[in-house]
Structure 1
Amino acid sequence: MEKQGLSVVTEGSLAVVTLTNPDRRNAQTPALWRALAAVGRDLPGDIRAVLLCAEGASFSAGLDRRMFPGGGGIPGEQDLAGLAGAGDEELDGAIASFQEAFTWWRRPDLITVAAVQGHAVGAGFQLALACDLRVCADDAQFSMRETALGLVPDLAGTKPLTELVGYARALEICVTGRWVGAQEAVAMGLATLAVPREDLDGAARDLVAALLAAPRDAVIETKALLAGAAARTYDEQRAAERAAQARRLRDLAGLGE
């Protein structure tokens, strides 16, 4: 993983995942995505929270420019032109494999927090969106640049972005590709809070500690209730609350299965 610009350190029930390629502003490659997908598959069962961090001035500058036509390519990887020449099934499978790096962060048994500083562009923005929560340094700037490059955001970021800020704002952010600063991100619900750069790690860890204070099973049930709320009717949500509470009451009383 170190060769791919990634490190994973476990601290009790917390896993700290760090992007470690600051010289390239933590630009992302298919190899990094494979490594991130492997992290999700291999997390120990006692991990309750994941903190995503990045070394250097930027969280992630997005897709490594070597992947673009004329960028020089990355040894052993297909660039975007090569992907474009693949058949429908192969191309769909390739993009699906890339998305695996971005999808496990919202598993019901985990709470995930991204600590974002500097630029979070394109794939970097989508990686931050993959997490349940985001804490920003006051210099953080988000931008979804794919549409401006003739592409679309395809790394599982469009749904959480729309859920967080609404369709109209998500459309405006994606199509213009403009910068969203830390304070605006907090105001629109994209981030939980913004802090001075030197306080980012401490603020993110304080949030993780608060999230870990509640009993694990109650957190899992609550996360599932909230995650599914948008797809349920009001009555369906009330029924889901009753079922979840029944499970919790019986568990606390020692009557669970």
Structure 2
Amino acid sequence: MSALVRLEVEAGIGTIRIDRPPMNALNAEIQHAFVEVCREAAERADIAAVVVYGGEKVFAAGADVKEMATMSYTDMVEHSSLLQDFTRALARIPKPTVAAVTGYALGGGCEVALACDWRVCADDARLGQPEILLGIIPGAGGTQRLARLVGPAKAKDIVFSGRFVDAQEALAIGLVDRVVPAADVYSAARELVARYVGGPRFAVRAAKEAIDRGLEVDLETGLEIERQLFAGLFATKDQETGMRSFVEQGPGKATFEGA
């Protein structure tokens, strides 16, 4: 496992830590390691939720341009699959995920944040997709996830211009979910997902799958996905525990074993 990406576990929360000073440029080594760490976080039973964090100074300032600048078209045809895989691995973690954004989240860094369920942002942070200024476009999901999050018009504004978005604008347009002082970003991100530790993991997993898959299909197909997942939960301990507790003690009293 690369020292540039670590998985740290405490109190049921896994932190995926990107650690390549000074700017956490996302080179191929980090991308490969990130995929493996995401898969581990997805599978580990002692992890109920995940925080992605780049440290106190910067989240990630994008892909390693020096590495990409030497690549040919043929090289990039192959490498572009890795670009998609490393953010897809994060998006597919079947647990609540949050990006703790400090400093800059640009290019691939912004795309990592977009692949999370939520984004907690420092009040002095800057986010953006400046790839257009390099003569390219976002390649790790930015054109797709950003448009789904903030709408196509605002996404085109951000992608076409390559401009940086400050924390307050990011909050206003729905690019981030919470803005806090820089010193509080990591603790605020942990606080956001801590509520899911000890909760009904099968049900949360099903809810995330229903929402994410539903966004990719038409309404009728989405309703069918929801129906199947809903019915499937009646074969789990989550449903048995939750409903028995509700009948016997009232709402909000259940203690779940988790998955």
Give the shorter-chain TM-score range. Answer: 0.7 to 0.9
Matched, 1:176 2:165: no
Q: Secondary structure at the match of 1:168?
A: helix
Q: 1:35 aligns with which of 33, 36, 56?
A: 33
CA distance in 2, matches of 1:6, 1:228: 28
| Structure 1 segments unaligned to the other structure (5+ residues) | 68-78
Does the Cα contact within 8 Å between 2:2 and 2:33 map onto a contact in 1? Answer: no
Q: 1:84 aligns with which of 72, 75, 81?
A: 72
Which residue of 2 is the match for residue 58 of structure 1?
58
What's the offset of the Cα at 1:253?
4.2
CA distance in 1, matches of 2:51, 2:6: 12
Larger displacement relative to structure 2 (126-135 or 36-45): 36-45
Which residue of 2 is the match for residue 6 of structure 1?
5
| Change beyond 3 A, Cα 1:238–1:91 | closer
| Structure 2 segments unaligned to the other structure (5+ residues) | 242-259
Q: How does 1:1-257 map to 2 (within 5 A)?
A: 1=1, 3=3, 5-22=4-21, 24-43=22-41, 44-46=43-45, 47-67=47-67, 79-81=68-70, 83-84=71-72, 86=74, 91-107=76-92, 109-212=94-197, 214-251=199-236, 252-253=239-240
Q: For 1:19, give the aligned amino acid.
A: I
Q: Secondary structure at the match of 2:87?
A: helix
Larger displacement relative to structure 2 (201-210 or 41-50): 41-50
Larger displacement relative to structure 2 (6-15 or 138-147): 6-15
Q: For 1:60, give the aligned amino acid.
A: A
What's the offset of the Cα at 1:13?
3.3
CA distance in 2, matches of 1:112, 1:48: 9
State the TM-score, normalizing by the size of structure 2. Answer: 0.83
Does the Cα contact within 8 Å between 1:25 and 1:56 map onto a contact in 2? Answer: no
Does the Cα contact within 8 Å between 2:49 and 2:194 map onto a contact in 1? Answer: no
Q: Secondary structure at the match of 1:175?
A: helix
Does the Cα contact within 8 Å between 2:132 and 2:162 map onto a contact in 1? Answer: yes
Q: Secondary structure at the match of 1:125?
A: helix
Cα distance per residue 1:196-230 (max 9 Å; x no partner): 11211221011011233530011011111111223
CA distance in 1, matches of 2:86, 2:224: 33
What's the offset of the Cα at 1:91?
3.4
CA distance in 2, matches of 1:98, 1:231: 20
Q: Secondary structure at the match of 1:211?
A: coil
CA distance in 1, matches of 2:2, 2:232: 42
CA distance in 2, matches of 1:124, 1:10: 22
Question: Pairwise CA RMSD of aligned residues?
Answer: 2.1
Cα distance per residue 1:150-195 (max 9 Å; x no partner): 0110012221111101111111100101111112111111111111
CA distance in 2, matches of 1:56, 1:199: 10
What's the offset of the Cα at 1:2?
5.4
**Number of residue pairs aligned between Structure 1 and Structure 2:** 237
State the TM-score, normalizing by the size of structure 1. Answer: 0.83
Larger displacement relative to structure 2 (12-21 or 139-148): 12-21
